[in-house]
Amino acid sequence: MRVFVTIQHPAHVHFFREAIGELEAAGHEVSVFMRDVELAADLLERYGIDYEVLAPTSDSLPSLAKSQLRYELALLRRARRADPDVLTAIGEPAVAHVATLLSCRSVVFTDTEHATLGNRLTFPFADRVCTPEAYTDDLGDKQVTYPGFHELAYLHPDRFDPDPSVVADAGIDPDQRLVVLRLVAWEALHDVGGGGFADARAVVDELERHGARVVITAEADLPPDLADRRATVPPEDMHHLLAHADLFVGESATMAAESAVLGTPAVYASTLELGYLEALESEYGLVVNTTGEDRQAEALRRASSILADHDEIDWAGRRERLLADCVDTTDVIRSQLADAAPSRRSAEVDAPRPVAERQ
């Protein structure tokens, strides 16, 4: 089987890396393409995954259109030469468009309802769109749902084991309450119009008032009075820090979900709502969603409550219940690619676990 994988964001590296390794170990050909995203490239190199950059990143809608055209033409040229069986990505229009033009197959994964422009450009052309069961939109016959979350492709306990040495090397006292605070830059296309905290300094002050150590991971520069709190762990080790933390507070939906599947309670503050975070709150009590106009005050109130009662709540038990209900998402990736690819090449790829198709 020949597979094309495209990467648009660092989180996509984590999502696909286990599947890439397993497919290659089974003798299949996997080619990885990406936009020029520095952190994503760093992660690919860290995990020993070969890749090719096809187009630069963009910081505006006009430049995005130009970059997208360049990206799609480059991917089309490479697909004509390599004749892939299936192309896959998270919410990327190019794989669906190229697969349609060349009469091969496309499998698109998504969990982001509010990525409306990308979804409109992608879904009509995709052969298959795979979503968690918690995804709130009905995409019709081509939608395949599965019981799980994107983050379980790389943080399932069969694939991830927290390393306490990462925490020790960061100089963090294991006996002190630890809060990881995430601030985003709001520059991604699917973040346009969104917002989170109004005053990061006030957030830090309130969390530290409860005796917690606050470690900040931020996409943009921090103000000088918060710079000494920036996380010093390498990006590929951040999940070890999240697993050790007592609480995650932040504007990143992905990191909120990562914390939750690791058993770390998360308080999410953003105007952007997502089905999977609603499920992590309503079904498992591992996320608190604060999305209204008073989200900063509400987030801090709920964070303070969690810190005060942290040891009285069975967070590990909540995580175990979640894991019992969910599949290993890497198994879903592999089985969906195998099922979508032409039978002449996919016969040797096993389908580890079935997924449910939406009726």
Say yes or no: 138 and 169 in one domain.
Answer: no
Mean predicted confidence (pLDDT) in 284-307: 95
Least Cα distance to 131 among 357, 339, 289 occurs for 357
Q: Is 157 domain-assigned? A: no
Say yes or no: 120 and 201 in one domain.
Answer: no
Q: Is 153 domain-assigned? A: no
Say yes or no: 87 and 188 in one domain.
Answer: no
DSSP state of 59: S
Q: What is the pLDDT of residues 26-43, one digit of tens each?
A: 999 999 999 988 889 999
Q: Is 158 domain-assigned? A: no
Q: Is 126 domain-assigned? A: yes
DSSP states of 258-318 as a string? HHHHTT--EEEE-S---HHHHHHHHTTS-EEEE-STTHHHHHHHHHHHHHHHGGGS-HHHH
Q: Is 115 domain-assigned? A: yes
Say yes or no: 255 and 296 in one domain.
Answer: yes
Angle, alpha carbons 305-239-26 (nearest 5°):
140
118: left (phi over 0), alpha (psi -120 to 50) or beta: alpha
- Please return the burial class of 27, using the count of CB atoms within 10 Å of its CB with bins 0-12, 13-18 and 19+: exposed
Mean pLDDT (the chain) is 91
239: left (phi over 0), alpha (psi -120 to 50) or beta: alpha
Say yes or no: 89 and 13 in one domain.
Answer: yes
Mean predicted confidence (pLDDT) in 242-263: 97
User: Who has greater pLDDT, 200 or 149?
Assistant: 149
Q: Give, in order, the Cα–Cα distances in Å from 97 to each of 122, 124, 127.
A: 8, 9, 10
Report whether pLDDT(336) > 90: yes
The total of structural domains in the chain comes to: 2
| Chain length of the chain | 359
Q: What strands, in cross-sheet order, belong to the sheet with 128-132?
A: 52-55, 29-35, 2-7, 86-90, 105-109, 128-132, 143-146, 356-357
Instruction: Name the pairing type of β-strands 178-183 and 2-7.
Output: unpaired
Say yes or no: 317 and 341 in one domain.
Answer: no
pTM value? 0.91
Contact 102, 86 (CB under 8 A): no
Q: What is the pLDDT of residues 191-233, one digit of tens each?
A: 444 467 888 899 999 999 999 999 999 887 888 899 999 999 9
Say yes or no: 174 and 319 in one domain.
Answer: yes
Tokens 């490239």 sit on residue: 41
Report whether pLDDT(357) > 70: no
Distance between CA atoms of residues 359 and 328, nearest Å: 22
Q: Is 159 domain-assigned? A: no
Distance between CA atoms of residues 258 and 255, nearest Å: 5
Report whether pLDDT(349) > 60: no
Q: Is 246 domain-assigned? A: yes
- Is residue 183 classed as helix, strand or coil in its secondary structure? strand
Q: What is the pLDDT of residues 55-69, one digit of tens each?
A: 987 766 677 788 899
Say yes or no: 178 and 299 in one domain.
Answer: yes
CATH number of the domain residue 196 falls in: 3.40.50.2000
Q: Is 232 domain-assigned? A: yes
Where are the extended beta strands (E) located within 123-212?
Answer: 128-132, 143-146, 178-183
Mean predicted confidence (pLDDT) in 266-276: 95
Looking at the chain, the whole-number percentage of residues with pLDDT higher than 70 is 91
User: Who has greater pLDDT, 174 or 157?
Assistant: 157
Report whether pLDDT(331) > 90: yes
Q: State the first-to-last Cα distance of the chain, in angstroms, to the nearest integer.
A: 29
Say yes or no: 107 and 168 in one domain.
Answer: no
Highest mean pLDDT among 94-108, 175-189, 194-208: 94-108
Spatial CB neighbours of 20, under 8 Å, sequence gap ≥ 6: 5, 30, 32, 49
Report whether pLDDT(339) > 90: yes
Report whether pLDDT(95) > 50: yes
Say yes or no: 281 and 188 in one domain.
Answer: yes
Full domain range(s) for residue 279: 164-323
Say yes or no: 116 and 22 in one domain.
Answer: yes
Q: Sign of torsion, CA 313 314 315 319?
A: negative
Say yes or no: 291 and 352 in one domain.
Answer: no
Instruction: Kindly indicate the confidence band of residue 315, based on its pLDDT and cuts at 50, 70 and 90.
Output: very high
Q: What is the pLDDT of residues 15-25, one digit of tens each?
A: 999 999 999 99
pLDDT at residue 195, as a whole number: 61
